[in-house]
Structure 1
Amino acid sequence: MEILDNFPLWAAFMAIIIAQAIKIPLAFFATKKLDFSLFTSTGGMPSSHSAAVTALSTAVAIEHGLDSSLFAVSAVLGIIVMFDATGVRRHAGYHATVLNQLVQDFNKLVEEIKTWPKKENEQKLKELLGHQPIEVFFGALLGIILALLLHTWFIG
């Protein structure tokens, strides 16, 4: 199957998997808690989105050259994804933090006014949505390095 020989695709997928896996030990060192749910979560260090798009662009550049239309498309896509990760998605996470605090404060107020039982299945918004610029940078660096390493494996 030709898809199994698609180096740019494999580079991007491997970048996502490795970046997500790296989040677990990094968080463990910071919090002393082992949290395997980080493997499927958004946000955090390093950015798997940045790793994926830079691995893709690097692999496309290796295979088709920096002057190819494919590289231009992948590079622009990568810039948009990384800009979004540090902008819109990060601010959405800030908004989720504020909204969660408002819900918590409102619930406290309601409890003080009336003694209503607190709902057990209260839904919270996900707060870790976007990335700090340093997380995007290291995700991008991981993607480039990984694509270069995988290229030697695919070609060699």
Structure 2
Amino acid sequence: MNGYKLDPRLENDSTSVMITGLCDLRLSRDARWPWLILVPRRAEITEIFELTPLDQVLLAFETELVAKALKEITGAAKINIGALGNIVRQLHVHVIARFEGDANWPGPVWGFGQADPYEDGKRDEFIAKLREALSS
């Protein structure tokens, strides 16, 4: 799609859940937190303001839908949303469910401890719940 290519680090650290109107919605492979990543399928974009005005609206809309679905299926105390991109420059938005008492609560998730991979069955079950929540 217009020269879009997923950054290899995002590809290695996450699994595609579904393609939305604008984004590749991905699940982080770190099971310590329900952690989703929206990657706009646009080439050479590193900042939200580089998107067209319509794509900016789509990104905000899709982020809201994903955050709401994540809160619904996890019952999280807080949903963290951020677009940092200091290491992976390709524009991507993190949507992370946080719980009191989770790994490093209330501190940030970035750079904390070692990633804990999903068991295949638990990952697949979570993805199925997420797809269902997003389709309703």
Shorter-chain TM-score: what band? 0.3 to 0.5
Q: Using CA pairs below 8 Å that are at least 6 residues apart, which structure has the higher relative contact order?
A: 1
Larger Rg: 1
Q: TM-score, normalized by length of structure 1? A: 0.34
